[in-house]
Structure 1
Amino acid sequence: MAQAMKIAIVDDEQDMRQSISQWLALSGYDTETFSSAEDALRVLGPEYPGIVISDIKMPGMDGMQFLKKLMGNDSALPVIMITGHGDVPMAVEAMRVGAFDFLEKPFNPDRMSDLAKRATGARRLVMDSRALRRELSDGSQLMNKLIGASPVMMRLKEDILDLGQADGHVLIDGETGTGKTLVAHALHAVGSRAGKKFVLVSCNAFEEEALSKRLFGPMLPEDGQLPAIEEARGGTLVLEDIEALTDTMQARLLSVINEQGTPAETRIIAISNLQEAGRTCEDALRSDLFYRLAALRITLPPLRTRGEDILTLFTRLSEQFAEEYGCEAPQVSAQEAAQLLQAPWPGNVRQLINIAERAVLQSRRGSGTIASLLMSDHEDMQPVMTTEGKPLKEYVEAFERMLIDNTMRRHRGSIASVMDELCLPRRTLNEKMAKYGLQRSDYI
């Protein structure tokens, strides 16, 4: 959920502070007031979740000095300056220093509200972007996004940690929707290049000439960026849909790789989507380039091979969508759990995300079932499921684990409440939680 934006009001006149605060509060903003720039600076750090409205003329540190301090701490912090009548030159200077905009006394409250709306919107974009960058550079956060405890997922996580520490180029392949780009981010984040540049280019998104220019240059000043090879220098360059490279582009990329030597100055992670099409990346690339890129290789497991991870993922996703839409997450019946486990999932995790969102929307309307969504996605699926291909015991245990997990989450780890809802004695619940690797501390 988006963080609520604050508005810091800085003015030495109490009446002015209060009137601005009251007006903005009526518009739905969370305000805080300061009688001096010095007091405000004790609170307004580089990650302040909001904007600043400040008078220019104040005793002690004036508004211009205050603005320069704020810009030194965080040049992306929107600051709206309040000027007296006839102080337009000072307002222009404030804009040059970095102010978001200015208000001239006596100001129109509606204009102030409009400026506050635009400034808080700009600040939210900056804060969201910073949060995303932190998340994508935090290996532990990214590893937590790789949800699942199935054997294939445990091996994948081990491979990411091992290969992340290595320095060779990496090839990631697997079916569409398995999370290859997320794994590329994780490889970068857990390795020695974590603090360096991470540049991602989709080879399928450009015509050959434009792709050549984006990867190798030359880039013109008006393009506003370096060629990807230069931009990623010392860090990681991710090439999605590597199989889309023409023979000419493959030869040029191989030449760049050979020039770098060993260890490579820039690590290249190539992502291929060819596996499900009956061809492999090895078929699409010249052999010398393929073997340079596939020095290290990760093949992502399809969702249908991940067993009860499917139910864990569905639960987490439906909870997230339920929170977003302000409703309860749908309850999964035993038959629906079996259907989720047996579905072919050609779209893998991406398809599961879609099903989870539609299930929440359906539940909010009070109509439809998870089974009906699966049937609409898989027309060849039978409405009554069998356990062909897997022992019944596996489906029962997967459903039982999901049921206990969901109930523990709903009751925030209250053992008594879970025992009561599931009609289980304490010892039986403890044994089942131990069996499924569920710990009460994870739900409190």
Structure 2
Amino acid sequence: MARAMKVAIVDDEADLRQSVSQWLALSGFDTETYASAEEALKAIGPDYPGIVVSDIRMPGMDGMALLKRFMSLDSGLPVIMITGHGDVPMAVEAMRLGAYDFLEKPFNPDRMTELAKKATQARRMTLDNRALRRELADGSMIMKKLIGASPAMERLREDILDLGQADSHVLIDGETGTGKTLVAHALHAVGPRAGKKFVTISCAAWTEDQLQAKLFGPVEEGGLPLVDEARGGTLCLEDVEALSHPLQSRLLTLINDQAVPPETRIIAICNQHAPDSTLEDVLRPDLFYRLGAMTILLPPLRTRGEDILTLFTRMSEQFAEEYGCEAPQVTAQEAAQLLQAPWPGNVRQLVNIAERAVLQNRRGSGSIASLLMADNEASGPALTTEGKPLKDYVEAFERMLIDNTMRRHKGSIVGVMEELCLPRRTLNEKMAKYSLQRADYV
């Protein structure tokens, strides 16, 4: 759910400060008031979770000086300036310095609310984008997104850590929806280039001429071609199989001209090739061997066993929080259906079904089985899955049930024992069997 955004009101006039605060509070904002610019500067720093409304004319440090200080601290902080009669030229100068907007006294309170809403929306987007960039630059955070305890996922995480440090070009292959772009980000984030640029482009999204200009130049409006923008960092080529032979040749020349280790690391992602062909069939051999010296093949979801239930639970919990409702409780029959589904769209399909299951649950109708059936009918002929012993289905459901109950009770052993009617010794044995640690839920 969207977090509450603050509005800091800075004005030396107590009456105006209080009236603006009361009006915005009635409009649903979380307000803070400061009697001077100096006082506000002590409390508001970079990544402040809100916006600022400040008068221009104040004793001591005035609003213009305060604006300059805020812009040097955080240029993405929206500051709305309040001006007196005749101060419009000063307000225009404030806009030039980075102010979000200005209001001239006496101002319409509704206009104040409208501006505050727009400014907080802009601030939320700025902070979300910053958080995403930090997350993508933080190897430990992004590795946590690679959810799953299956042997295939354990190997994938080990491969990412090994190849991330190797700093050579990498080729990523796998079925659609398996998370190849996330793995590319992870390779960059855990390696020596983590603090450098990560530049990505889909080779299938542009015509040959457009792609050549974007990659190698010339670029309109004085920008840099992507091979220059990514210099020293990582260039990620999605849909690398869509590169024409002339562009493959240009890319090979770029690779051959680099030293070892390369100045720019290239991560190539293949998103589509015929089932009976390989990447070696769609890329020219010399480019394939330069890119494919290190290869990661992502496992399809249908081979990952109980990871399917873990992923479904995590995704449905996230969507339930977003939509402000309860996550659906998965029955034993539904767990078996999730494990047996062919998942042609892999993790991307599972995320989609988890969201729709949450929305269905909010309405109090529908079932996970009906969603799976509709999805598989829409996707055409299904891939087959190998049968599993009944014991595997039972254990996967049992692990999911204990995991979900531990989450719900925030690690309270007593609460889990009571809900599942299990003696403590039995619960401890099962948690040890499924590698579930109480500390992970507290």
Q: State the TM-score, normalized to the length of structure 1.
A: 0.96
How far apart are 1:362 and its partner, in Å? 1.7
- Say if 2:34 is the partner of 1:31: no
How far apart are 1:278 and its partner, in Å? 2.7
- Say if 2:284 is the partner of 1:293: no
Paired residues of 1:174 and 1:276 also in contact (CA < 8 A): no
Letter in 1 for 2:240: I
Indicate the residue corresponding to 1:400 in structure 2: 398
Cα deviation per residue 1:30-74 (whole Å; 9 max; x = unaligned)?
110000000100111011111111111111111111111111111
How far apart are 1:153 and its partner, in Å? 0.2
In 1, Cα distance between equivalents of 2:224 and 2:265: 17
Letter in 2 for 1:366: G
Paired residues of 2:169 and 2:290 also in contact (CA < 8 A): yes
In 1, Cα distance between equivalents of 2:362 and 2:3: 25
Indicate the residue corresponding to 1:384 in structure 2: none
Indicate the residue corresponding to 1:340 in structure 2: 338
Cα deviation per residue 1:158-204 (whole Å; 9 max; x = unaligned)?
00000000111000000000000000000000000000000010000
Greater CA drift, 240-249 or 93-102: 93-102
How far apart are 1:388 and its partner, in Å? 6.7
Indicate the residue corresponding to 1:410 in structure 2: 408
Letter in 2 for 1:260: Q
Paired residues of 1:10 and 1:53 also in contact (CA < 8 A): yes
> Cα distance 1:69–1:391, how it changes in 2: closer, same or farther (>3 A)?
same
Paired residues of 2:78 and 2:123 also in contact (CA < 8 A): yes
Query: Secondary structure of the residue that 2:268 maps to in structure 1?
Result: strand
> Cα distance 1:23–1:284, how it changes in 2: closer, same or farther (>3 A)?
same
How far apart are 1:380 and its partner, in Å? 11
Indicate the residue corresponding to 1:274 in structure 2: 272
In 1, Cα distance between equivalents of 2:63 and 2:365: 58
Unaligned runs of 5+ in 2: 380-384
Equivalent residue in structure 1 for 2:436, among 435, 438, 441: 438
In 2, Cα distance between equivalents of 1:119 and 1:403: 44
In 1, Cα distance between equivalents of 2:350 and 2:386: 22
Paired residues of 1:174 and 1:275 also in contact (CA < 8 A): no
In 2, Cα distance between equivalents of 1:417 and 1:3: 29
> Cα distance 1:403–1:197, how it changes in 2: closer, same or farther (>3 A)?
same
Query: Secondary structure of the residue that 2:218 maps to in structure 1?
Result: coil
In 1, Cα distance between equivalents of 2:89 and 2:357: 58
Paired residues of 1:216 and 1:229 also in contact (CA < 8 A): yes
Query: Secondary structure of the residue that 1:53 maps to in structure 2?
Result: strand
In 1, Cα distance between equivalents of 2:212 and 2:35: 57
Paired residues of 1:178 and 1:350 also in contact (CA < 8 A): yes
Letter in 2 for 1:182: L
In 2, Cα distance between equivalents of 1:273 and 1:89: 55
How far apart are 1:261 and its partner, in Å? 2.5
Name the count of aligned residue pairs: 437
Query: Secondary structure of the residue that 1:200 maps to in structure 2?
Result: strand
Paired residues of 2:216 and 2:225 also in contact (CA < 8 A): yes
Unaligned runs of 5+ in 1: 382-386
Indicate the residue corresponding to 2:129 in structure 1: 129
Cα deviation per residue 1:57-105 (whole Å; 9 max; x = unaligned)?
1111111111111111111111111111011221122112211111111
Indicate the residue corresponding to 2:192 in structure 1: 192
Indicate the residue corresponding to 2:382 in structure 1: none
How far apart are 1:433 and its partner, in Å? 0.3
In 1, Cα distance between equivalents of 2:386 and 2:188: 41
How far apart are 1:379 and its partner, in Å? 4.4
Indicate the residue corresponding to 2:373 in structure 1: 375
In 2, Cα distance between equivalents of 1:102 and 1:36: 18
Letter in 2 for 1:320: Q
How far apart are 1:377 and its partner, in Å? 2.3
- Say if 2:80 is the partner of 1:86: no
How far apart are 1:378 and its partner, in Å? 2.8
